[in-house]
A and B are shown apart, each in its own frame.
Chain A
Amino acid sequence: DQQVKQNSPSLSVQEGRISILNCDYTNSMFDYFLWYKKYPAEGPTFLISISSIKDKNEDGRFTVFLNKSAKHLSLHIVPSQPGDSAVYFCAASDSSYKLIFGSGTRLLVRP
């Protein structure tokens, strides 16, 4: 039973345009959400997070939106750059602090 789902295994975007990565969750007890980026042969690196008391968090080109009623979060990258090409994982945690990850979305930013 996947509690965190990333239904798009891949996404291709033109350089300079917006990339939107989506994530859905089923557990209403999740109260903290994160996005990680992973390059080949490296471990995931933290990108941005959001608490359930917020609906938006920005950090430079990256913005995460949280829609609690829809149990949906998204990551917006504007403008997209070729160096953003990587696999993006969303993750969620509840009071146990255990991180539950989605299966990842491979983003390709075309020059």
Chain B
Amino acid sequence: KAGVTQTPRYLIKTRGQQVTLSCSPISGHRSVSWYQQTPGQGLQFLFEYFSETQRNKGNFPGRFSGRQFSNSRSEMNVSTLELGDSALYLCASSLAFRAEETQYFGPGTRLLVL
């Protein structure tokens, strides 16, 4: 079974631009979560989607948004990029929206904002 895939793997943008990141979950998984990882901060939860609906949201500004399609693929968008948005963005998929369901992570998209 193919794992979670994320595209692109690396991205360089400038301040003020916007960016869209893509995540394809493991086949059959309907829950997709997004995290931001920065040095010293660990993984910070952005949002989670299940069956095309956002079920949970972290404490990030409205510039961060996402969506999930009917095939469970998910996209994350960041508008008006700031230098502090430079980070590794990870998505994870699981079968269902429950803590006991193991989340499987993709390799991440490393975003650099100049």
Contacts and interface: CB of A to CB of B under 8 A. Distances in A.
A6 B55 CA distance: 27
B92 to A, nearest CB: 7
Interface in A2-21: 4, 6, 9
B25 interface: no
Instruction: Identify which of B35, B45, B55, B106 gathers the most chain A CB atoms within 10 Å of its CB.
Output: B45
A100 B41 CA distance: 11
Nearest to B57: A98
B11 interface: no
Contact of A42 (B44, B56, B99, B107): B107
A43 B42 contact: no
Contacts of B92: 43
Interface residues of B, number: 26
Contacts, number: 58
A89 B44 CA distance: 12
B58 interface: yes
Interface stretch (A44-52, A54-62, A63-71, A73-81): A44-52
A41 B109 CA distance: 10
A43 B106 contact: yes
A44 B90 contact: yes
A9 B104 CA distance: 24
Given A99-B33, A103-B40, A46 B45 contact: no
A72 B111 CA distance: 34
Given A43-B4, A43-B108, A89-B43, A101 B56 contact: no
Interface of B: 4, 33, 35, 40-45, 48, 55-56, 58, 90, 92, 97-100, 102-108
Interface of A: 4, 6, 9, 31-32, 36, 41-46, 49, 51, 89, 91, 93, 96-104
9 contacts: A6-B42, A31-B99, A43-B90, A43-B107, A44-B105, A46-B102, A91-B43, A97-B56, A97-B99
